[in-house]
Structure 1
Amino acid sequence: VKSDDVQGRVSTYEAIVKGVPIEDPSLPAAFRVLVKELQSLGLAVEAVMDNKEIIRFGKDEERVRPPKLETGLLGLGEGLDGLL
């Protein structure tokens, strides 16, 4: 497990504490940075895992994102067109 693989470190620690087998490591953040650099050069990047699973990066990549919080600013400027 690489030091920048936060999720991998957490799951490894949990496995050690619980006494269960350690899961296979995930892709480290440094690899994702490399992928973004290659994509900025116009290259399409795919990772082929040992089990022949293909991981595609880019717009189709699944990401776990926190839900967006409402700021209350949407529509704040509506109705001001006549004032300016």
Structure 2
Amino acid sequence: MADAREKADEKAELYALDISDVEWLSAPGDTSEERVEIAHLPGGAVAMRNSADPGTVLRYTEAEWRAFVLGARDGEFDLT
């Protein structure tokens, strides 16, 4: 129970973080109008948005982002 509460508190703190001045990055050479952008946040967290809708931002803890990246590397999200 405490572990779930700690994770919820971590997410709440992450979403309370002011990200108005972060540097948004996209894939090198991607100049398309609509692309995925990420920003590195304090503590290893990451924010992600669609450049066509920059007001909607998803935020991930360091553990969540690491799990996503490792899953992508392992082919977890590959289309068959």
- TM-score scaled by structure 1? 0.28
Structure with the bigger RCO (C-alpha within 8 Å, sep 6+) is: 2
Hey, which of these two has a bigger chunk of helix by percent? 2
Hey, which of these two has a bigger chunk of strand by percent? 2
